[in-house]
Amino acid sequence: MSERIFLSSPHMGGTEEKYVQEAFDTNWIAPLGNNVNEFENQVKSYVGTPAACALSSGTAAIHIALDLLGVQRDDIVFVSSLTFSASANPVLYLGGKPVFIDSERDSWNMCPKALKKAFEQYEQKGQLPKAVVAVNLYGQSCRFDEIKAICDSYDVPIVEDAAESLGSVYQGQMSGTFGDYGIFSFNGNKIITTSGGGMIISESEDNIKLALKKATQARDNAPYYQHSMVGYNYRLSNVSAGIGRGQMEVLDERVNQKRAIFDRYVEGLKGIDAIELMEELPNSKSNRWLSTAVINPDKTDIRPSDVIAKLQESNIEARHVWKPMHLQLVFEDNDFISMDEDIAAYLFNYGICLPSDTKMTEEQQERVIEIINSLF
């Protein structure tokens, strides 16, 4: 069998080992040190935010953001339904109740009309949400001009889940900087990785100082171990941050590679009318973390599972789109707000994530395209 083509795997730039070795040479291998500080500085400089805290995962970043926003037991939090479960699980950690918001067809992200509908319904109940978690899916930014206007009108803060969208731009502004808090993920499959890790960013340095305290067990400034609030063990290690330093040096290159992969799919699959690749919102630039498409059921009997199985025969990895949270058993009792049609379910049923690995050669991608064309 030929060499495996992955969906999206870690891709080292070449300098990561130097920074990791620095951590060993200085014996700073704990969750603090020069690599952590410099990695935070790199991200702050890249996205243009004054404050950042490197954490053990993107999930931890969402958890701390919601904690800082005061989410408590029985509080309502509006969350994008079409996402990975890490966007919603931290609401449960704090005892809150996620209410899931449907997608819109063009961006695949939180539908502003459905969000407005949710606000109106829950305002009538006297249960305005404590926060809104808006997810930038597969690198595509939400319509934050509309979403932010709605949230601002109700004075409800936004947690921007930019786990998949580092390097993306919407209306001239970097992804992660639209919410009261922004979060990034550096999991192994993301556009850059620290093996596992995340970051929380904010315009408020005081809030990020509090996030750092929360992430390091909330120790008080005392000559002994004293704690006046609940804390977590969420700080990123200096070793992992060394990988992140090297990865930040190639982030723009990775974005360009991901976008080139997407463009080759557009060209190579243009003869298949049923394949509708995710469009880019006007006045935006997606990092195209994953190249995704809908296989229109009105134009073919072929389903995503058929394409995934056919590619797997040649040792090529493709995947279904995220299963929406409102369809997950763990959230079966939670409310779901949509307009007339369940768009998130449609995208799940007919969507596909195509191989988007930046180590994939053009020849390998041509083989992927050839197999898909032959199936149709």
List Cβ neighbours of 341 (8 Å cut-off, separation of 6 or more). Answer: none
Amino acid at 337: I
CB 137 within 8 A of CB 294: no
Amino acid at 44: K
Q: Which two tokens stand for residue 44?
A: 């702050």
> Known catalytic residue: 190?
yes
Q: Distance between CA atoms of 86 and 3, rounded to whole angstroms?
A: 31
Q: How far apart are CA 366 and CA 361, in angstroms?
A: 9
Given the DSSP bridges, would you call strands 181-185 and 336-337 parallel, antiparallel or unpaired? unpaired
Contact 239/246 with Cβ under 8 angstroms? no
Structure tokens at 293: 């498409």
Of the residues 190, 214, 258, 285, only one is catalytic, namely 190
Q: Of 263, 291, 276, nearest to 357 (Cα)?
A: 291
Helical axes 16-26 vs 34-47, angle rounded to 10°? 140
Among the listed residues 68, 363, 355, 5, the one whose alpha carbon sits nearest the alpha carbon of residue 211: 68
What amino acid positions are annotated as catalytic residues?
A: 190
